[in-house]
Structure 1
Amino acid sequence: MAGVNKTHLTETDIITKFILPAIKDAGWDVMTQIRQEVKLRDGKVVVRGKLAARLSVKSADIVLYHKPGMPLAVVEAKANKHEIGKGMQQGLDYARLLDVPFVFASNGDGFIFHDKTNPAQLESEIRLEDFPTPAQLWQKYCAWKGFTAAQLPVISQDYYDDSTGKSPRYYQLQAINKTVAAVSAGQKRVLLVMATGTGKTYTAFQIIWRLWKAKNKQRILFLADRNILVDQTKNNDFQPFGSAMAKVTGRKVDPAYEIQLALYQAITGSEEDQKAFKQVAPDFFDLIVIDECHRGSAAEDSAWREILEYFSSATQIGLTATPKETDDVSSTDYFGNPVYTYSLKEGIEDGFLAPYKVVRVDIDVDLQGWRPTKGQVDKHGELIDDRIYNQKDFDRTMVIDERTQLVAQTITDYLKRTNPMDKTIVFCNDIDHAERMRRALVNLNPEQVKKNEKYVMRITGDDDIGKGQLDNFINPKKAYPVIATTSELMTTGVDAQTCKLVVLDQNIQSMTKFKQIIGRGTRINEKYGKLWFTILDFKKATELFADERFDGVPEKVIRTTSAEISDPHSEFDELLADEATDEAGAESASAAEEHAATYSAAAGDNSGDFEEDEQRKIRKFHVNGVVVKVLAKRVQYYDADGKLVTESFQDYTRKTLLKDKEYASLDGFIRKWHSAARKQVIIEELEQLGILWQVLAEEVGKDLDPFDLLCHVVYGQPPLTRKERADNVRKRNYFSKYSEPAQNVLNSLLDKYADQGVQEIEDIQVLKLKPFDTLGRPLEIIKSSFGNKQAYEEAVNELENEIYQLA
């Protein structure tokens, strides 16, 4: 390219004419090793009011691969007018996401090469013709990772190539590659921690596929404790295994299949003849993958742990969103520290998971308590124990009908204001509470129930009709059921992609359980308009968001006394409820009850009640005629630092703009606004920062366009309405320099601005609308009034300058 003046070339030209040729000349294959415009994140969703917007994200200019799915280097380009290394910091950010040690920055003159494998000189300048070969970078990469020659056949095994074009996201690549590397190095216990909704099962499939195809692992068992999890896995992500795969049924392990999927409950039990896993030798399986390993398999005395210990010679990979750390149950004690963690906060920041808005509702009896009058009896004639009942008691030991009604009314009012057909899960304290909540919601929504009696359904472990509707509830294509009331059954294993409202009327003290429940809403489904969700909290459960353990290290629960074990909110009872409500049915429930019987202090059954001993259940009083009211509501948003903040959208807009260099001052903002040929470009740019104009205008309560909204909200200037700005333009009589036809067009454009804003007049299509349509086609109007298109655009630009003249 000798003689080419690079300084006039665009960034795209620099890539096409200089950077790509240099890479190809070094021997990189265009089809399998070079990818351009690699989008690593989806763009965080910002929510305010009823609206949401995705923030824009940049793509990596070029990513180089050893082979598909195995990234090696990032190349970041800039136009030649920039310094050669300007793109380095951006490239380093992408390299961190991809876990690669090599970054190249270039402006077309050469490369700045950042090489983490060479700590003696991290960055050096190299010529275009000296770009390293694939073999050179792969060799340095393997040394950096510490791979041995024996590992390379497994490390290099291809991913499953999905014909639909589905490929792993950056964090899935990290999880898969780190796990395959650990297994190939001989690590026997591997833990992967990935937030709910981030594709753990797809990740597990790719891990198993590569190890299986490399013949590193030949007989593989996938274990789960919910029937729905096994079936979803078999029918969806694991489908490519085809005839090599089977689900264990009828308590029989068929050794003919290489890939076996099983429920714990289907291959073990309390009796020796129920232990189907012993039909094969202890060394039969060489790989076991355990889904949701924070539950039964993590407990040392669990019957399920017996399976893992029987196959102790196998490599065992644990998958969980919520690793559990208690005295009795430890994911990390068994599996070791995670080889990779991808958190809920990271998922939301990257735009792969839905953010949440929290509406906290404080009810007077919850905060102030309720005490019976002397000698008061409940609805059933039971003398009520004389004490003060508070939030922790309601719907466990004390039922107040009016409180149930108020919660149901608040849910109904929220859905009527938003969308009555938004999928909603109401988490209740027990099955009795879930049934009363179902009834209250039915009575408050007669029009919706008349359209379809399944508008509200109780979906709990004891009800086959309700459980039969679970698949319909989670299916985006099925409108009904809309509202599901539940207690334990839907806390895990429910892929509710379109759930937009999660209601918490349950006492939640376990961080593990809280994370699982929040995970019901975190999936995104843009096709069905699900970008975010709301948490309606009646029990202060969302205070757990402020706990550093929410998105940090697992909780550590210390148990020391039998009294603590019998606490109805304990980790033991949570585990018990998980087991007892499993969709495997009566076998699972009875096994859990037998397990529970060994604890004299505590036991539980599928009703959700908690027994103090075999004879006496906790007493539950039931009253009505109590005046109950809402004391306060407050709305909180998920902020950029992962915390819930109570702030207006005006606060959010002010903070967002003032920390941006270009908008940090009023002068800077006005300078940028006036320099923009089209104001729409700035409006769209700010939308990508999460500035939602409709929400901002509603909050300010004035008919202002984006310019005045920002001048007022961010910089404290007195605002002008669009009509006031239009009137000021007419008073200055600047139209007089134009011909009469041109004045008519500009006056009509000014009217359009006053009615609908600057975006309307910048679109040339406005000339097709009234009143312009009576003057002819757009090109005819432009020619007869202004002479040509350039003169018309200059006149519109001048009109905008007049509109935004500051007083």
Structure 2
Amino acid sequence: MNKKQLTETDIISKYIMPHVEKAGWDSMTQIRQEVKLRDGKVIVRGQLGVRKTVKSADIVLYHKPNMPLAVIEAKANKHEIGKGIQQGLDYARLLDIPFIFSSNGDGFIFHDKTVSEGQPIENEISLEEFPSPQQLWQKFTVWKGYTDAQMPYITQDYYDDGSGKAPRYYQLQAINKTVEAVSRGENRNLLVMATGTGKTYTAFQIIWRLWKAKQKKRILFLADRNILIDQTRINDFQPFGQAMTKITGRTVDPAYEIHLALYQALTGPEEYQKAYKQVDPDFFDLIIIDECHRGSASEDSAWREILEYFSSATQIGLTATPKETEDVSNIDYFGEPVYTYSLKEGIEDGFLAPYKVVRVDLDIDLQGWRPEKGQIDKNGELIKDRIYNQKDFDRTLVIDERTDLVAKTISAYLQRTDPMAKTIVFCNDIDHAERMRRALINHNPEQVKINDKYVMKITGDDELGKAQLDNFINPKKAYPVIATTSELMTTGVDAKTCKLVVLDQNIQSMTKFKQIIGRGTRIDDRYNKLWFTILDFKKATELFADEKFDGPPEQIMNSSSDAITDLEDSAFDDEFGDTINDDEPAAGEVSETPASYGDTAADGEWDKEESDYIKYRVAGVNVTKVAERVQYYDTDGKLVTESFKDYTRNTVLKQFESLDDFVKSWNEAERKQIIIDELANHGVIWQALEQDVSKDMGPFDLICHVVYDQPPLTRRERADNVKKRNYFTKYNEAAQIVLNTLLDKYADIGVSEIESKDVLKVAPFDKMGRPLEIVKNAFGSPKAYKQAISELEQALYDDQHSA
């Protein structure tokens, strides 16, 4: 066979794989084909979200399962030998590997990042010269600078249960870079990974490798919330089995090797509560600190004393949101992150859900509210005379009509989209969460009649509400649907199917904002959770525009200076005595009482009703919605306000500058579906465009009309135009019947239907015989049938548009 006619798959099987295996690579353990590194970014418009298609790396070569070494990109022989190099370089960047090969079956272009200065980075080698595993591993270890002492750490495999689950590329990078750092004797390490990217699973694999390599024998996993410990023990850490225990009752049992503990269970303000002192300072040789941006980040935290007591241990901090303020710093303690995987990267790769933002402006929030002279509130309190603004509402001043309008807006959104979409409403405090629960119940009477758990307040003070948390986060449980909360659900709550995050809370802290947004960023394809909506009543989403939102963490702590506080917050605190810190939801840091160090009921909540300031309550205020606008996550990670028609116009014009360019490409395409799919891959969601413009037009007319302002034709009009021309007279009777039927299917469904290879299997063709019979009887051969379809498409689009 002519080599030039072989497909890419043939080139791999006939030329590349035989020579790779001949070089000594084991096909069972060292070679993986079609390695999918990304999931495909989700594009959202309207109420629809679709994934972009992503390519897989053709071949990845491994020293061991945890150690990728090289990527091979193959192309058909009709292409130049080095055509796949740039694609391979992109995959190599994700895998953090130095060796890239490109081949068309004639040989290889070898891109080698390990070469010495002055040597060529790329060389052409023959098929027979492909390097052996030993050759690449030796070059790799020299490039990495590994010592003999590091090898037990480096070469230990990650945990594999045989199910096929393996760390994603960024998790593997995080694991390997952390293990490498520990192997070099670096005992303070920070991992920054966006919420929903599997920090705990990554931590498990790090512990597993260090533990199995016998380099770390006693390990402590620290968290500050019971739910984090229990989720970890039951899920990701389950393979540790009998070697693992959860520290309870303030007793550290030396019989176990893997210990999971709440900070609160290990320490307290009284000496007798400091359970960690039961063991020697060198008892643990590895400590993993989950959500390290909270308690352990502050120098004067009572919880930091645990880390300082076990200072000889290797300590690894995990966080999605490293805290960097003037007086608190993760970087100051742990050092610069060994690896960072951001929300933006997660969305681009398709591992995290993108979001659309619905900003709602209320007149009272924009204009403020001032009491009448001598006005008293519902409780008989004289309302202090000043202008109350958005920051005051539901914090120092409750306006019943505002609460009601927010609840009405949330309910209306759910009713017109999906009334059963899991929703978290973030309120200012527990009192606000309770009032919001009541208002939402009153605006959803039909749903509440079906199940009275449709709306639940899930806060630290409410045992019934907290008991429903597991049901809320369980995708298999329909109820509760709406959870109103204050602090309890800001972090550590793995609500994979949460589709709506409502912000009616004053959020000043970037750390807290990131944590709250993280409640919606998980993707769950099984339950069609690909994206989520943020309904913002407090302008909190303006923080998306802050360069610190998804930028690298920068240390700004100044240990020698006095603490600098936000002046506006400070003025508020001076006047109203509200001492809660938006950054610190953990109960133990608000009030270090003996109770706060136990398994606290509040578990991070703090009821401001116990504070000494007065919260005024008024009713009878006219509150209206002034504006509502929708913003989408754009391709560059920014929020943009534009209609889907605007988005389509901008996207298509980047591909086809003029109408002539588009029509020419459309007419020359062997299959129109190729162009349709390509535009979909750039974010043109056809279903959304049909809903926005017309369901009767095909993709060609939708683009001509929306992008190039051309008068459109419906599919039925195009089909009728072809019939009017007596187009079919050149075909025999059997062919005319087939083509007429195909034309009707085009009018009903679209061009993709007549191009489908299965169209002859469905009604009414199924009554005419088998597909091959139909083709032979009507057209003589498959080639002639294919030509007839091509000519039919030309006839369909042969009109005024083909300028």
1:521 and 1:570 map into 2 onto residues whose CA distance is 29
Corresponding residue number in structure 1 for 2:606:
606
Superposition map of 1:124-143 within 5 A: 124-143=123-142
1:750 and 1:250 map into 2 onto residues whose CA distance is 76
Letter in 2 for 1:608: K
Cα gap change, 1:216 to 1:590, in 2 (>3 Å)? closer
Cα gap change, 1:754 to 1:432, in 2 (>3 Å)? same
Superposition map of 1:612-623 within 5 A: 617-623=612-618
Q: Deviations over 1:433-483 (max 9, x none)?
A: 000000001111111111111000000011111001001100111110000
Corresponding residue number in structure 1 for 2:705:
712
1:298 and 1:548 map into 2 onto residues whose CA distance is 22
Corresponding residue number in structure 2 for 1:421:
420
Q: Per the alignment, in what secondary structure is the counterpart of residue 479 of structure 2?
A: coil
- Of the structure 1 ranges 741-750 and 348-357, higher mean CA displacement relative to structure 2 is found in 741-750
Cα gap change, 1:18 to 1:796, in 2 (>3 Å)? closer
Corresponding residue number in structure 2 for 1:534:
533
2:766 and 2:145 map into 1 onto residues whose CA distance is 72
Letter in 2 for 1:135: Q
The one of 637, 647, 664 equivalent to 1:671 is 664
The one of 3, 8, 11 equivalent to 1:6 is 3
Contact 2:268–2:597 (CA<8 Å) still a contact in 1?
Answer: no
2:579 is equivalent to residue 579 of structure 1: no
Letter in 2 for 1:386: D
Cα gap change, 1:190 to 1:734, in 2 (>3 Å)? same
Q: Which runs of 5+ in 2 are unaligned?
A: none
Letter in 1 for 2:750: G
Contact 1:224–1:262 (CA<8 Å) still a contact in 2?
Answer: yes
2:608 is equivalent to residue 626 of structure 1: no
Q: Per the alignment, in what secondary structure is the counterpart of residue 32 of structure 1?
A: coil
CA positional deviation for 1:653: 2.0
Using the size of structure 2 for normalisation, the TM-score is 0.94
- Of the structure 1 ranges 139-148 and 297-306, higher mean CA displacement relative to structure 2 is found in 139-148
Contact 1:580–1:593 (CA<8 Å) still a contact in 2?
Answer: no
Corresponding residue number in structure 2 for 1:65:
62
1:167 and 1:744 map into 2 onto residues whose CA distance is 53
Cα gap change, 1:683 to 1:560, in 2 (>3 Å)? closer
1:789 and 1:111 map into 2 onto residues whose CA distance is 38
Corresponding residue number in structure 2 for 1:322:
321
Letter in 1 for 2:679: L
Contact 1:459–1:489 (CA<8 Å) still a contact in 2?
Answer: yes
Identity in percent: 73
Letter in 2 for 1:607: D
The one of 646, 655, 662 equivalent to 1:651 is 646
Corresponding residue number in structure 1 for 2:478:
479
1:727 and 1:592 map into 2 onto residues whose CA distance is 73
CA positional deviation for 1:143: 1.5
Corresponding residue number in structure 1 for 2:212:
213
Q: Deviations over 1:302-330 (max 9, x none)?
A: 11100000000001000000000123321
2:766 and 2:107 map into 1 onto residues whose CA distance is 55
Superposition map of 1:432-581 within 5 A: 432-554=431-553, 556=556, 559-560=563-564, 567=572, 573-579=581-587
Letter in 1 for 2:675: I
Contact 1:358–1:635 (CA<8 Å) still a contact in 2?
Answer: yes
1:147 and 1:769 map into 2 onto residues whose CA distance is 62
Contact 1:73–1:101 (CA<8 Å) still a contact in 2?
Answer: yes
Contact 2:287–2:314 (CA<8 Å) still a contact in 1?
Answer: yes
Cα gap change, 1:610 to 1:701, in 2 (>3 Å)? farther
1:780 and 1:134 map into 2 onto residues whose CA distance is 53
Q: Deviations over 1:763-788 (max 9, x none)?
A: 46555666667766666655554455
Q: Deviations over 1:563-613 (max 9, x none)?
A: 75675599962355322599x99832789999xxxxxxxxx97313473xx
Q: Per the alignment, in what secondary structure is the counterpart of residue 372 of structure 1?
A: coil
Q: Per the alignment, in what secondary structure is the counterpart of residue 547 of structure 2?
A: coil
Cα gap change, 1:421 to 1:585, in 2 (>3 Å)? farther
Letter in 1 for 2:7: T
Instruction: Give aligned pairs, total.
Output: 787
- Of the structure 1 ranges 538-547 and 326-335, higher mean CA displacement relative to structure 2 is found in 326-335
Cα gap change, 1:182 to 1:784, in 2 (>3 Å)? closer
2:96 and 2:330 map into 1 onto residues whose CA distance is 25
Contact 2:379–2:617 (CA<8 Å) still a contact in 1?
Answer: yes
Q: Per the alignment, in what secondary structure is the counterpart of residue 149 of structure 2?
A: coil
Superposition map of 1:58-457 within 5 A: 58-118=55-115, 119-120=117-118, 121-457=120-456
Q: Per the alignment, in what secondary structure is the counterpart of residue 573 of structure 1?
A: coil
Letter in 1 for 2:205: Q
1:771 and 1:199 map into 2 onto residues whose CA distance is 50
Q: Per the alignment, in what secondary structure is the counterpart of residue 252 of structure 1?
A: coil
Cα gap change, 1:585 to 1:222, in 2 (>3 Å)? farther
Cα gap change, 1:496 to 1:267, in 2 (>3 Å)? same
CA positional deviation for 1:754: 2.3
Letter in 1 for 2:684: I
Contact 2:264–2:597 (CA<8 Å) still a contact in 1?
Answer: no
Q: Per the alignment, in what secondary structure is the counterpart of residue 712 of structure 1?
A: helix
The one of 32, 36, 41 equivalent to 2:38 is 41
Contact 1:461–1:581 (CA<8 Å) still a contact in 2?
Answer: no
2:106 and 2:794 map into 1 onto residues whose CA distance is 41
Superposition map of 1:589-604 within 5 A: none
Q: Per the alignment, in what secondary structure is the counterpart of residue 574 of structure 1?
A: coil
Contact 1:580–1:605 (CA<8 Å) still a contact in 2?
Answer: no
1:770 and 1:318 map into 2 onto residues whose CA distance is 61
Cα gap change, 1:370 to 1:276, in 2 (>3 Å)? same
Q: Per the alignment, in what secondary structure is the counterpart of residue 352 of structure 2?
A: coil
- Of the structure 1 ranges 390-399 and 779-788, higher mean CA displacement relative to structure 2 is found in 779-788
